[in-house]
Every structure is written in C-alpha cells, then in structure tokens.
Structure 1
Amino acid sequence: MDRPMITHRSSEYKQLHADIEEKLHKALGTDNDIFMVAGSATVLLEGAARNGIREHSLGLTSGSFGDRSIEVATTNGRKVDVVRVPMGKAVKPADIEGKVGKDIEAVHWVSNESSTGVYCDNAALAEEVRSQNPDAS
C-alpha cells in the first residue's frame, strides 16, 4: 500500500500476472495452463455450472463442498441427479455404476472434501464415468 493501485488492464498488471504465473509453474511443477481467479471457490463452481453444463449433470457428494457444488448447479437452473455417500466416506466408482446415462453431460465431485478430510480417487471415478458415457465431461 505504499504506491498507487494498478488496474487489471494496465501493462504493470500484465507483467505482474506473468511473473506470478511463472513462479506458480515452478512451485507447482507444471507446464500446464494455470488459471488464476480472484474470488472464492464458488466463483469457479458457478463458472463450471454455467459453462460446462447445458441441462443435466450428475453431482457426487460426500460432504459440505460436494453439496455446495450441487446447490450452485441447481441454483443456475441445471438439472442435477445426486449420488450422496455418508460424510466421511469417499465416493467410489461402484457408487455411480449405471448412473451416467447418455443424457448426463457432466459429472462433478470434490476431489478433496475438506469438510471431512476425505479424498476421492479422481482417476478411478473418471474412468468409471468414461466407461458409461465417453461424451460426459
């Protein structure tokens, strides 16, 4: 706060953003794209619901943040079928057997449910989704 604020469209900000992105690539050990958002996780959930689901999705939940993902999608007018497992338990591929029909455009879940400390096996869940509907994202 010892100098004037810069705007997000200024050349100074563009340089700052590039510098931060370069450091994040090193810190995260990736060459993949990095998407920085100045907002809460709900901003990303809403963006995903509005842009990744036209009509119908399958929401998987095992805690508060999975519930929030489903709430955000339904609040944005999307139909969401829900698979709920007990809090403190991970969603498993067996939990979604036969639930990813051709009308399901996307399946969403929380990888690391911080409300309970449970981690879901993303690779196994994604493999199960693709085996039922390769067009679902």
Structure 2
Amino acid sequence: MVRNDRLLSTALIVFGVTFCLVYPLAVVWPSGWAWHAGSPAASNYFMMIVGVYATLGVFLIRAARKPFDNRSLIWFTVWSSIVHAVVMALQALGQDMHRGHLAGDVPALLLVAIVLAVLMKRSERAYIPDRP
C-alpha cells in the first residue's frame, strides 16, 4: 500500500466512524447536528438520516482496505457531502434557529469532501498513468 493509500485509508476510517456516530453527536451538540427540537429520536426524518449515514460509515470503513477498488463509493461520498452541505447551509441561512449548523454539520461535510477529494486525486495519480 502506497503512502497516499495509507492516508486515504485513515481518512476513510475516521470519517466512517464519525458517520456512524451522528446520533451521539446530535445528543451532545443538538444545535450543530439535529434539525428539530427534542431528543434525536423524536424525529423520524432524523433517524432516517442516522440510518443512511451509519450505513455509509460502515461502507467507508470497509473501503479503507482497498480504496482504489472503491473509487465510486468514495467519489459519491465527496459529491453527496458537497450537495448536502450546500443545501443545509442555504436552509440555515434562511432560518435563524438553524444557524448553529453553519458551525456544525455544514463545515464537517465540507471537510469530508475536501479531504477525500484531495486524497483520491493523489491516489488516482499513483495508479492511473497520464494519458497522451
């Protein structure tokens, strides 16, 4: 495994574990991670998001073994994180009670996207030769 893959694998594990911990993050810091009043379990929608992100987290952890073989999953994570962050940022800017997300899940998703995109580009350059 080349150094770029080790860094990418580490990032996949860290982000995968974080995605599996969305529920506890919402318990500890609700204004930064939950979009409703009350406990995290009080919203069916939020629990659906928890399930989707926990599933993605497990697959990111599994992808850490062979990142290059899981490129489409990693690029999906990059682009879906960007889209999710932009939508949430626009919603937070339009609703005063949700401004906390601009310091919580919005920058977290952008961090995921940037780190994985940079590491994927480096990994792909190591494996895919330049085309003429």
State the structure with bigger RCO (CA 8 A, min sep 6), 1 or 2: 2
Q: Rg bigger for which structure?
A: 1
- Normalized per residue, the structure richer in helix is 2
The TM tier, using the shorter chain, reads under 0.3
TM-score, with length taken from structure 2:
0.26
TM-score of the superposition, structure 1-length normalised?
Answer: 0.25
Which protein has the bigger strand share?
A: 1
